[in-house]
Amino acid sequence: MSAILQTSFRLEDQVTDKQAEFFRKNGVIHFKNFIDPGTVKLYLAEISRVENYLLENGVNKVNGIPLKFGLDVNGSAIIQRLAFTSRYSEILSEFLRSDKLRLLVKLLEPYSGRISETEKDGLVVNHYLNTENSQYTRLGWHTDSPRDLFLGSRILPMLNVGLHLDDCPVSNGGLKVLPGTHNKGWFTLFFRKKYFVDNKKDKNEIGLDIEAGDLTVHDGRLWHRVEQSPVTGERSRRRVMYIPVITGAYKPKTASSPTPFYHRVSQFKLYKFDRKKRTPLAEEKPAAGLAVE
């Protein structure tokens, strides 16, 4: 079992100097009970509603970003990586505009940051499930920074903010980080691990004991992975909403945005059933009643 990050915090009306210093040193911070159990249920229900809409309407991409499909424990189709989720949900869009979430921008100081609802991949929902037909059981060692290079810009400071919607003790896999690797220079950033290929446990990795409603923040340059659950089926289910907090020029995406290279080379297989079985098809369709960028 990985060592456990022993320090966690509560976010009240501001990010404190102590919390900011902890983050600068380690590149990761864990806030307990960021949302209450009732809000967790609300967000899960809203994600399920959006997922059903996208499956029923055969949506394969949102703003140029491919959705990742798999099968649930009962064999039904699910979306295991959903991009720009808030585009289809006023409830989730409102969450991104909340004052409490915006407090986290302080962790980017001295840079000026923003929550990027319409940039990068927007609000991403990752749905990890360890079953025979799951397409998303783990994610190998990586940092979030090099994708800036694929998008034609220099690497800029960013935060990856994860709102966890299921309990995930360190014994059940989940997020593992290498604290302090966010400020060790270019060689560490690019060559500490083999990007996405290396899934091996590291003697210096730290896990987090996460409960539904907790929020984690890591620096985009921090080496991290998502470990596969040692159990299968329902007990392995982990759903996380990821909110990128970014800097630099404003670059929103729309339905006509091209698919980035790094997504084209990492396409997951799609389960091809007929439409009545909720087959993912080809074209993006915006939800009725919602504005299209």
pLDDT digits (tens, 9 = 90+) for 155-169: 788 999 999 999 999
In whole angstroms, give the CA distance from residue 66 to residue 60.
6
pLDDT tens track for 44-67? 999 999 999 999 999 999 999 999
Looking at every residue in the chain, the average pLDDT score rounds to 87
Higher pLDDT pick, 206 / 5: 206
- DSSP labels, 126-182: EEE--STT-S-S-EEEE-SSTHHHHTTS----EEEEEEE-S-B-GGG-EEEE-TTGG
Q: Is the pLDDT of residue 143 over 70?
A: yes
Two tokens at 274? 């007929």
Q: Is the pLDDT of residue 288 over 50?
A: no
pLDDT of residue 186: 80
Q: What is the mean pLDDT of residues 130-157?
A: 78
pLDDT tens track for 168-221? 999 898 999 999 999 988 878 788 998 888 999 999 999 999 999 999 999 999
Confidence of residue 267 (pLDDT cuts 50, 70, 90): very low
Asked: is 15-250+258-273 a CATH 2.60.120.620 domain? The reply is yes
Q: What is the mean pLDDT of residues 31-48?
A: 98
pLDDT of residue 151: 58
Q: Is the pLDDT of residue 100 over 50?
A: yes
pLDDT of residue 273: 38
Q: Is the pLDDT of residue 88 over 70?
A: yes
Higher pLDDT pick, 31 / 269: 31
Q: Is the pLDDT of residue 285 over 50?
A: no
Position 104: which residue type?
Answer: L
Confidence of residue 117 (pLDDT cuts 50, 70, 90): very high
pLDDT of residue 43: 98
Q: Is the pLDDT of residue 72 over 50?
A: yes
Q: Is the pLDDT of residue 250 over 70?
A: yes
Contact 176, 224 (CB under 8 A): yes
Please give the backbone phi and psi of residue 276, each rounded to the nearest 5 degrees, phi first: -65, -20
Helix (H) or strand (E) holding 56: helix 37-56
The pTM for the full model equals: 0.88
Q: Prior bond to 110 cis, omega within 30?
A: yes
In whole angstroms, give the CA distance from residue 293 to residue 63.
9
